[in-house]
Amino acid sequence: MSAVPYCVKCARGMRCKENSVFVTDAPPNKPVKDEDGRDWEWGSSGDLYECEECGIQIVTGFSKFALVRVDSISGIIFRRKLM
């Protein structure tokens, strides 16, 4: 049994294009405010796969989700420990 994602449209396996791609959880989950008023979101990293035939992309193999904040200037990702 293969763990490689499969493109049904093109009937072929996808290739890993990039590892550790960061994603945040979409609404309806609202950001969590910290004591300084900054927003934290639920986020995780996974692997980006792409079909070489049609170009469709997916992210799979996520790590555990955590509260994260991306600095708008530097792009640095901050993770917050969950209790």
Q: Identify the pLDDT of residue 14.
A: 96
pTM higher than 0.85: no
Half-sphere exposure of 32 (CA within 13 A, CB side): 14
Per residue in 58-78, pLDDT tens? Answer: 999 887 767 777 666 676 666
The answer for 23, left when phi > 0, alpha when psi is -120 to 50, beta otherwise, is: beta
Domain count, the chain: 1
Does 10 reside within a domain?
A: yes
Does 30 reside within a domain?
A: yes
3-state DSSP helix/strand/coil % of the chain, to nearest 5: 0, 50, 50
Q: Identify the pLDDT of residue 1.
A: 46
Does 65 reside within a domain?
A: yes
Angle value at C-alpha 71, between 70 and 76, nearest 5 degrees:
75
Q: Identify the pLDDT of residue 41.
A: 74
Domain that holds residue 30: 6-80
- The parts of the chain modelled with pLDDT lower than 70 are 1-2, 25-30, 65, 70-73, 75-83
Does 1 reside within a domain?
A: no
Does 68 reside within a domain?
A: yes
